[in-house]
Amino acid sequence: MKNPNIIEEAAASTNYGASFITVVAGLTINEWVAIGGFFMGLLMYGTYFWFKAQKLKLLKKSLELDELSRGSNRR
């Protein structure tokens, strides 16, 4: 006889899979658009902060170079 745990795990996986498919199939186009908009918003939020971080790195590097060039001119 097969291991009862494997059968229980397969049954649980089947139940979760069927539940997921039922939920996904039950969404309207408006709900799909709302979900897509939410994820696009998260993507844009992350992109914005990534570019801000890159700009901050460049500004810091520019300030360091500017301070170094001013320091070498004083001597």
pLDDT at residue 69, as a whole number: 85
51: amino acid identity, one letter: F
pLDDT attached to residue 1? 52
The pLDDT of 32-55, averaged and rounded, is 97
Residue 75 pLDDT > 80: no
Q: How many domains does the chain have?
A: 1
- The predicted-structure confidence for 8-37, as pLDDT tens digits, reads as follows 888 999 999 999 999 888 989 999 999 999
For residue 56, what are the domain limits? 4-74
Report the alpha-carbon distance of residue 38 to residue 46 in Å, rounded.
13
Q: How far apart are CA 23 and CA 34, in angstroms?
A: 15
